[in-house]
Chain A
Amino acid sequence: MKKNRKLGRGVAIVGAGMSKFGMFRDKDSKDLFADAFRELIVSVDKGFDPKDVDALYLGNFSNDYFMHQAHWGPIISDLVGIAPKPATRTEGACASSALAFREGVFAIASGFYDMVLVGGVEEMSKRTTEEVAEGLALATVPYEGRAGFTFPGVFGAVATAYFAKYGAHREHLMNITIKSHNNAPLNPKAQFPVTIADLMNKKKESLQKREGAAPDWQTEKDFLADARANPVVAWPMHLFDCCPISDGASCMLLVAEEIARNFTDDPIFVAGLGQGSGRGFHASDDLTYFEATRYAAREAYGMSGLTPDDIQFSEVHDCFSIAELVHVEDLGFFKPGQGYKAIADGATRLDGIKPINTSGGLKCKGHPVGATGISQLYEVWTQLRGLAGARQVPAGDLRIGAAHNLGGTGGTCTFTILERK
């Protein structure tokens, strides 16, 4: 039997920051990372000297393509004043900064470094939608691209396979969209801090004014079912099933467990880490789950000694609504084929038994791909420290939260469990 993997020594998060996510014409990657780093500095309760940082690990997927500028490690280490200390860029598509986090954890756990800065950044909004779709499609597997698959297309296909196997339909995905939009207005960093109900009412008002008649939408689902309000992108993925195009940055300060309390009385510890790789959609055992996510989850649960029931809340990679559904099953929160029913019953709402994506998720918080992994961990860190304000999980006494990050079409998946001791 395989031995559960352990860290050589414990690793704690003692500070974290993220920029606002959104589309920023007048901010570049350096400006966004500076915003995140400024927040990190003040988040370290007892302070720290950036000159003591031993190394930087930075996730970035494709500023090469989006901005025609590669090699972001040293650009950011210079920006935050830690050069000539080493800077290493990690790339795992939309999971790029989860890999940076993981490498930073390993560097400390090995005993090599005591304090590491990890982060992520992406700048996407200065390209057209079609160009961004092409840029993201660089992270599909080659056969998918040749067949015309885009990112939304692959997840759309997962949805048709899931629907056919389990009898779910579009309305079940709408529950996910509505839930994420209900959380987002409570997150001041979110790109789309607005509920579907508010969007619907605003659109009704503006149509009433402009055309003298408003559509007969009674519920949020009426609105989402109307192609005029919610056009198709890649059937059955519609506009409101898809995360937006975003710019943003995120970062965290990691230190060895034995020195964590020099920086804060409330460090958050890494309890479990997992990472898996996928074989391409066509080669997977089944099209209704992601084997890399299942592998990552097994690793993280094994290392932490925890079970899915122990996870009090989680950020889950919802690049598309169907991704959140499939992953809450892959992570063991619900049985395969049962996730859509639990979601319909409210299980994943902020006040549900398993709150998912309290931040608003990629859908509403935004998805600057290279920054996303650490921004998810930022949300977990914020919740565990009780600093999430209006979106604080109401269960109280939060001790264990997790974040799941997916890259490409499931090629790279991570699951990270954080713990407050």
Chain B
Amino acid sequence: MEEKSFSDITYEQYLKEEKLMGSRCTECEAAYVPPRSICVQCFSSDMEWVEMKGTGRLAAFTCITIAPPFMIAQGYNRKNPYISGVVELEEGGRVDARIEGLDPNKPEDIKVGMPLKVKYLHTEVGDKEETFLAFEPL
């Protein structure tokens, strides 16, 4: 099997397959999510894919009412906000993701540190099917 390039494009393709994948340096074992093709610890390019368990904790979040156009296209706006967050993965490392299953109108109830599990959002944006990385309460 041909090795997939350690790129953002491949990372996004794996998300479509409902896999959260990172890269690991075979020289020094440093791991990266999203993947890096060059290890920034030892500068080896000898990487391998590793699948994340998809569990972690909320490190930071925001509830967005003034949305960018591609989120407005998904139905979000001042009356219908959404949550974006940073999730600290169980294996270490952090990812930016949408946060689902919590009320964006009650930010006081959302706690930094709360445990989360991965969820893949398959969404129509315009005439394109896109997959976005998301997390929801465990």
Q: Return chain B residues, CB-CB under 8 Å to A129.
A: 66
Chain A residues within 8 Å of chain B by Cβ, number: 36
Contact B60 A130 (CB under 8 A): no
- Indicate whether B37 reaches chain A with its CB closer than 8 angstroms: no
Whether, in the assembled complex, B126 has its beta carbon less than 8 Å from a beta carbon of chain A, the answer is no
Minimal Cβ-Cβ distance residue in B for A164: B112
Is the pair A233, B84 in contact by a Cβ cutoff of 8 Å?
no
| Known A160-B60, A234-B66: A148·B112 in contact at CB below 8 Å | no
Say whether B8 faces chain A, with CB atoms less than 8 Å apart: yes
Of the residues B69, B76, B96, contact of A281 by C-beta under 8 Å: B96
Are the C-beta atoms of A148 and B67 separated by less than 8 Å? yes
Q: How many angstroms from the CA of A154 to the CA of B62 in the assembled complex?
A: 7
* Interface residue? A217 (CB, 8 A): no
In the complex, chain A residues 139-155 whose Cβ is within 8 Å of any chain B Cβ? 142-150, 152-154
List A contacts of B93 (CB < 8 A): 282
- B59 engages A234 (CB within 8 Å): no
Q: How far is the CA of A154 from the CA of B61 in the complex (A)?
A: 8
**B66→A147 contact, CB < 8 A:** no
Closest chain B residue to A232, Cβ basis: B65
Q: Which of A143, A235, A236 has the most CB of B within 10 A?
A: A235
CB<8 Å pairs between A and B, sample of 27: A129-B66, A130-B67, A130-B68, A137-B68, A143-B34, A143-B95, A146-B132, A146-B133, A148-B76, A148-B84, A148-B132, A149-B62, A149-B84, A150-B64, A152-B66, A157-B84, A157-B85, A157-B86, A160-B61, A160-B112, A161-B59, A161-B60, A164-B113, A235-B63, A281-B86, A282-B34, A287-B86
Closest to B72 in A: A130
A147 and B63 form a contact (CB under 8 A): no
Chain A residues packing against B (C-beta within 8 Å): 129-131, 133-134, 137, 142-150, 152-154, 156-158, 160-161, 163-164, 231-237, 281-283, 287
Contacts A150-B68, A160-B62, A231-B65 given; does A142 touch B94 at CB 8 Å? no
Known interface pairs A281-B96, A283-B94, A287-B86; A235-B62 also in contact (CB < 8 Å): yes
* Complex contacts, B76 vs chain A, CB 8 Å: 148
Alpha-carbon separation in the docked complex, A189 to B27 (Å) = 57
Contact with A along B35-68 (1 / 0, CB 8 A): 0000000000000000000000001111111111
Residues from chain B with a CB closer than 8 A to the CB of A234 are: 62-66
Contacts of B75 in A (CB 8 A): none
Determine if B86 and A282 form an interchain contact, defined as CB atoms under 8 angstroms apart: yes
If A150-B66, A282-B86 touch, does A142 touch B60 (CB 8 Å cutoff)?
A: no
